[in-house]
Amino acid sequence: MYNFDKIADRLNTSSLKWMYKDVLPMWVADMDFDTMPEVKEAIKKRVDLGAFGYTNTPNYFYEAFRDFWKRNHHVDFKTEWMIFSTGVVPAISSIVRKLTKVGDRIMVMTPTYNIFFNSILNNNRDVAQTDLEYDGKEYKINWKDFEARIKNNVKMLILCNPQNPVGKIWSKGELLRIGKICRENNVIVLSDEIHCDIVTPGMEYIPFSSVSEECMNISITCLSASKCFNLAGLQGACVVIPNEKIRKLVNRGLNTDEVAEGNAFVYDAFTVALNKGDLWLKEMNQYVYNNKKYLKSFLNENLKELDYHFGDATYLAWVDVSKICDDGNMLCEYLKAKSKVYFSYGEEYGKSFKGFIRINLATSLDNVKEGLNRLLIGINKFKEEYRK
């Protein structure tokens, strides 16, 4: 029904992703797909109103999140638990400031979303990180290391659920164990679930707060329609906090930081996407899954030295390039300059992952094919130049 081969031409539009001239961008986690026609109609209707003044957060915005998660993820978030924020990242930074003190330690599991480090370090908190372990099939938590680090003055865990960039969907058992350890050590779990609806067809993620009452009571969940419906530029998110005491603190922080008020377009666009986007989402996930399969096949046939772990979530591919180059940053810059294709480098997501790159597959199959051909050409040039 929807055409995902059609992508928007964002050259010369101040697009962050497409800002490099003549370079095919497959880096920042930003879709190229044309968003739902229903969303565009909702925005046009708001434009036709002709006045764009201050806008209160309408209750139907929260109801749309509640209904979507109940319909698709079998969990009932109450609307009174919800607070609007201008984005997941502004919410995380605000929550770090409000619920922890300077010098406190905040835990992340790496490789993880690189901006988590900014939210911690820019607020003069310390990063406690534990590396996920790869057993050849999937990424797993090193529980001994996880628990030891949690006990060392950690006040908050920023959980990436599902995990970006490896595409890990956490099991109920894993989430329960995370919650148990955090609860026993008085650690709040701030769960970034922005990628949760981008999954392999037939798969489903589990909200952290849904696995037990204990997890619910220590949870802050950040949700958004921005990543899965290509609406990031509208600046919106929903923060869900069942615990009233924590919710009051977070609400005060978000308002003090002035990130609790939306623009004139975000509420209607998000509401329409959540209320009417199930089919679009299903078809988008199938398209991305096909792109992942193409990547896997291409690497197996042409670049066997690159190891792609096929994650079940996100539209991102986590690729081990260490047999070619143990410095992913160097390789990405080389490919950008010599082959005109740009990927994210692994060290951004954790210092232990220097030999990785991240590839964004939320684009047309034609772009995926072109990008991988440029990758192949660039890798061959790189080997000729650096293996003499």
Band (pLDDT 50/70/90 cuts) for residue 359 is: very high
Residues 286 and 265 in one domain: no
* Contact (Cβ atoms closer than 8 angstroms) between residue 224 and residue 238: yes
Do residue 138 and residue 29 come from a single domain? no
Please give the pLDDT value at position 182.
98
Task: Tell me the mean pLDDT in the region 69-73.
Answer: 97
192 assigned to some structural domain: yes
- Are 223 and 92 in the same domain? yes
Report the distance separating Cα 375 and Cα 340, nearest Å: 9
The pLDDT > 90 percentage for the chain reads 97
Directed axis angle between helix 266-276 and helix 37-49, to 10°? 150
Asked if 270 and 127 sit in the same domain, the reply is: yes
Q: Last residue of a domain, which of 234, 255, 276? A: 276
The CATH number linked to 325 is 3.90.1150.10
User: Is residue 16 assigned to a domain?
Assistant: no
> Residue 223 burial by CB count (10 A; 0-12/13-18/19+): exposed, middle or buried?
buried
Domain shared by 112 and 197, yes or no: yes
Q: Are residues 243 and 338 in the same domain?
A: no
Peptide bond into 165 cis (omega under 30): yes
Three-state DSSP at 358 gives strand
In a domain, 13, yes or no: no
In single-letter form, the type of residue at position 258 comes to E
Query: What is the pLDDT averaged over residues 253-278?
Result: 98
- 106 and 163 share a domain? yes
Residue 198 within a domain: yes
Nearest-CA neighbor of 273 among 19, 28, 10, 33? 33
Report pTM. Answer: 0.97
Split at pLDDT 50, 70, 90, the class of 386 is: confident
Rounded Cα distance, 218 and 226, in Å: 25
Give the pLDDT confidence score for residue 7 in this predicted structure.
93
Pairing of strands 219-223, 237-240: antiparallel
Q: What is the mean pLDDT of residues 337-364?
A: 98
The answer to the question of residue 10 being in a domain is no
Contact 85, 98 (CB under 8 A): no
Token readout for 106 is: 């905040």
Last residue of a domain, one of 251, 276, 301: 276
CB contact burial 294-317 (16+ within 10 A = b; e otherwise): ebeebbeeebeebbbbebbbbbbb
User: Do 126 and 249 sit in the same domain of this protein?
Assistant: yes
Please check whether residue 371 lies inside any domain of the structure.
yes
Q: Which of 276, 303, 331 is the last residue of a domain?
A: 276
Contacts of 9 (CB under 8 A, 6+ apart): none
Q: Where are the beta strands (DSSP E) in 230-367?
A: 237-240, 307-309, 316-320, 341-342, 344-345, 356-360
Per-residue pLDDT, 353: 97
CB 361 within 8 A of CB 288: yes
Closest CA to 247 of 175, 238, 207: 238
What's the pLDDT tens digit per position in 223-250? 999 999 999 999 999 999 999 999 999 9
